[in-house]
């Protein structure tokens, strides 16, 4: 899923995402949309789909990750999280119930339960207490969600989140507990928060077998292009990541031959496209030299073209993985991911 934090993928319109990339599911952020413009306004204007002009599926996270990144501006209790807005310092309380209410007001197709996401490293005891709190919040969120949506024909699906830092025993116990909620899908959170990549994969590996195979399993906030097939091989169905868009804006472009850092002087007069094998609009129409010029000049067009390319690169990788699974050729996708990892910044 491309990430549209504020109800927008930076630099791209919904038309770009649909016509150029065929994106079917987009992620938006409850924390940011709750603070500005607010769930009441969004609901009054027809819900988040209509508000942002997005006709396809939307997933909203609970805002837990953003709240827990506020450090000294928050206070955690059994009730929820009291925090101060990074915009104006006003105090707000996120509870399992209030975050469900906000996402129902948005009209999200997939909602996330409030969880506690800890930074890395953290002690086993602190992680154990956090898992207990996350599970209590998940149960409260599901009670409230089922009460609120009892008479709705097709409400959005609520996913609980598995936490446990990098401790296999905590991940297993949390996964087994959330599976009892009989949700329509399950998420694995608390990764990509500073831990080694090998540990991220290990934690997914110990968690996935305890989550129902017939329901979507979603790992939050991953990963580099070469990691996508590795997560799929473990049984992951859904992923999101800011890397393709953020790296694009910062001058890092992904190609089949490795990462291309567009600001480098070697591209000053390079007439080639970003990636000769890529059919995206940026690669079909513009040279590396032009893109470097736009980047150096701080032109907004650079971010749009670069983001379009990087997201096309990611979406094509995922399409190839799906096709590989259907054709019984998934091992070739894993081999291609290893080649990407070896390429690094070869360009």
Q: Say whether both 128 and 214 belong to one domain.
A: yes
215, part of any domain: yes
Closest CA to 92 of 73, 111, 78, 119: 73
Average pLDDT along the chain: 96
| Residue 9, domain member (yes or no) | no
Shared domain check, 213 and 83? yes
Same domain, 28 and 92: yes
pLDDT in tens, 254-292: 999 999 999 999 999 999 999 999 999 999 999 999 999
Tens-digit pLDDT profile for residues 74-93: 999 999 999 999 999 999 99
Domain assignment present for 199: yes
Predicted confidence band of residue 73 (pLDDT cuts 50, 70, 90): confident
pTM: 0.96
137-169 residue pLDDT tens: 999 999 999 999 999 998 999 999 999 999 999
Taking residues 120-141, report their average pLDDT: 97
Same domain, 69 and 92: yes
Show which of 183, 218, 241 is a domain's final residue. 241
Of the three residues 218, 241, 264, the one that is the final residue of a domain is 241
- Which 3-state string (H, E, C) describes the chain? CCECCCCCCCCCCHHHHHHHCCCCEEEEEHHHHHHCCCHHHHHHCCCHHHHHCCCCEEEEECCHHHHHCCHHHEEECCCCEEEECCCCCCEEEECHHHHHHHHHHHCCCEEECCCCCCCCCCCHHHHHHHHHHHHHHHHHHHHHHHHHCCCCCCCCEEECEECCCCCHHHHHHHHHHHHCCCCCCEEECCCCCCCCHHHHHHHHHHHHHHCCCCCCEEECCCCCHHHHHHHHHHCCCEECCCHHHHHHHCCEEEECCEEEECCCHHHCCCCCCCCCCCCCHHHHHCCHHHHHHHHHHCCHHHHHHHHHHHHHHHHHHHHHHHHHHHHCCHHHHHHHHHHHHHHCCCC
Res. 308: pLDDT tops 70:
yes
Instruction: Give 281: exposed, middle or buried? Use CB within 10 Å, 0-12, 13-18, 19+.
Output: middle
291 and 167, same structural domain? no
Peptide bond into 30 cis (omega under 30): no
Domain extent for 275: 246-343
182 & 234 share domain: yes
Do residues 156 and 272 share a domain?
A: no
* Residue 2 falls inside a structural domain: no
Together in a domain, 221 and 78: yes
Q: What tokens appear for 295 in the block? A: 């980047």
Residue 346, pLDDT above cutoff 70: no
pLDDT at 157: 98
Domain count, the chain: 2
Residue 187 lies in a domain: yes
Q: Is residue 184 part of a domain?
A: yes
Residues known to be catalytic: 61, 240
Percent of the chain scoring above 90 in pLDDT: 93
Whether residue 1 is contained in a domain is answered as: no
Q: What is the pLDDT of residues 161-193, one digit of tens each?
A: 999 999 999 999 999 999 999 999 999 999 999
Q: Are residues 37 and 76 in the same domain?
A: yes
């Amino acid at each position: 899923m491309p990430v549209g934090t504020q109800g927008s993928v930076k630099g791209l319109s919904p038309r770009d995402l649909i016509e150029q990339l065929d994106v079917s599911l987009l992620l938006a952020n409850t924390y940011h949309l709750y603070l500005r413009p607010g769930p009441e306004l969004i609901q009054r204007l027809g819900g988040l789909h209509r508000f942002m002009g997005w006709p396809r599926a939307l997933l909203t996270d609970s805002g837990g990750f953003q709240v827990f990144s506020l450090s000294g501006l928050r206070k955690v209790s059994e009730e929820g999280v009291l925090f101060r807005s990074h915009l104006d310092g006003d105090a707000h309380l996120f509870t399992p119930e209030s975050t469900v209410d906000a996402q129902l007001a948005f009209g999200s197709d997939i909602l996330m339960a409030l969880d506690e996401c800890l930074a890395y490293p953290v002690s086993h005891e602190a992680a154990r207490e956090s898992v207990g709190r996350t599970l209590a919040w998940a149960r409260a969120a599901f009670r409230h969600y089922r009460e609120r949506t009892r008479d709705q024909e097709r409400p959005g699906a609520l996913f609980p989140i598995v936490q446990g830092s990098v401790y296999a025993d905590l991940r297993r116990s949390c996964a087994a507990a959330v599976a009892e909620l009989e949700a329509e899908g399950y998420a694995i959170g608390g990764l990509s928060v500073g831990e080694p990549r090998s540990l991220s994969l290990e934690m997914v590996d110990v968690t996935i077998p305890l989550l129902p195979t017939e329901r979507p399993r979603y790992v939050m906030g991953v990963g580099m292009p070469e990691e996508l097939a590795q997560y799929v091989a473990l049984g992951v169905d859904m992923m999101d990541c800011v890397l393709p868009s953020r790296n694009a804006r910062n001058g890092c472009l992904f190609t089949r031959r490795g990462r291309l850092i567009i600001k480098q002087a070697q591209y000053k007069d390079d007439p080639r496209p970003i990636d000769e094998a890529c059919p995206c609009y940026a690669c079909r129409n513009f040279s590396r030299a032009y893109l470097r010029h736009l980047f150096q000049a701080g032109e907004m067009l650079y971010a749009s073209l670069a983001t379009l390319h990087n997201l096309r690169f990611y979406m094509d990788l995922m399409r190839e993985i799906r096709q590989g699974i259907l054709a019984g050729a998934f091992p070739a996708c894993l081999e291609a991911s290893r080649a990407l990892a070896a390429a690094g910044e070869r360009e």
